[in-house]
Amino acid sequence: MNFIKRQVEILFAAILYFTRIPLPNIFEYKQQIVNRAIIYFPYVGLLIGLMSGYLIIGFNEILPYNIAVILTMVFNVMLTGALHNDGLADVADGFGGGWKKEQILTIMKDSHIGAYGTIALILYFIAEYAAISVMSVTDIVLLFMFAHVVSRTMSALTVFIGNYARIDDKTSRAADIAKPMKLPSFLFALIPLAAILVLYINQLWIALVVAVVIWFVLYIYFKRRIGGYTGDCLGAIQQITYLASLITIVATWQ
C-alpha cells in the first residue's frame, strides 16, 4: 500500500510539474517525490496525447478542421504552461547567441526572448500546424499519443544517460528532476512507448527511428557545447522530436 501511495504521489507531482492541470492538494510536498517525477514524464505525454486527440475530434464536429487544429495547438500550450516551448526558445537564443558554455547558460537563464527564440517558435508552430492539418482525423488520437509519448521518452532518456550542466546552480528549476535515473526507473518510463509500439510498430517504426536519431544528434550537440543538458534542453528535445515524429508520420502515411 505504501508503494502504491508513493507512486500516486510521484504521478501527481509529475502532472503538477509538467502541466497546468489542477489536482486536489492531498499529498504533502516532498523534495524526494519531485526528484522522481521525470519517470512519469512519458505518462504525462500519454495523457496530453489522449486529451489533444479527442479534443480535436470534438472541435472537428462543429468547426472546420483547420480551426480545430489551431484551437488544439492553443490548448496544448495552455495545458503545459508553454514550459517546453519556452525551453525551445531559450535553447535557440542560448546556442544561437553564445559561443562558450558560460555565455550559453547565461543567455538561456535570461527571461527575455531574443530573435533566435522568436524565429524558432514561429517556425515551430507553422510546421506543427502544417503537419497536423494534413493528418486524417480518424488517426489523430494514435498519432498524438505516439508523438507526445516518444518525445517525452527522449527527454527521460537524456536524464538517464546525461549529465546536468547546471549542477552547481541551486536556483535552477530543472535541478529538482535532473537527478541520476536508475535503470529500473527508466524501464518503467519506457512502458507507455513500448505499449504503443507493441500494437502499432509496423506503422510507427520509421517515426521512432527518426525521433531517436534526432535525439542522438541533439544529445551529442548539447554535450559538446555545454557538457550535458539543462531543463531548457529537455524542453527543446521534447519539442523537436515531437515535431519530427509528426512530420515523419505525415511523410510515411500519405
Place of cell 544529445: 219
pLDDT band at 119 (very low <50, low <70, confident <90, very high): very high
Note the pLDDT of residue 178.
Answer: 63
Task: Give me the mean pLDDT over the 224-241 stretch.
Answer: 94
Task: Give me the mean pLDDT over the 111-123 stretch.
Answer: 92
Q: Are 152 and 47 in contact (CB under 8 A)?
A: no
Task: Give me the mean pLDDT over the 36-44 stretch.
Answer: 90
Report phi then psi at 22, rounded to 5. Answer: -75, 130
Residue 179 has pLDDT above 80, yes or no: no
Task: Enter the DSSP assignment of 178.
Answer: -
Name every residue whose Cβ is closer than 8 Å to that of residue 43 and which is 6 or more positions away in sequence: 11, 14, 189, 192
Phi-psi region of 237 (alpha: psi -120 to 50; beta: other; left: phi over 0): alpha
pTM of the predicted structure, to 2 decimals? 0.92
b/e per residue 42-73 (b: at least 16 CB within 10 A): bbbbbbbbebbbebbeebbeeeebeebbbbbb
Write out pLDDT tens, residues 47-60: 999 999 999 999 99
Q: Where are the domains of the chain?
A: 39-253
The per-residue pLDDT of the chain, averaged, comes to 89
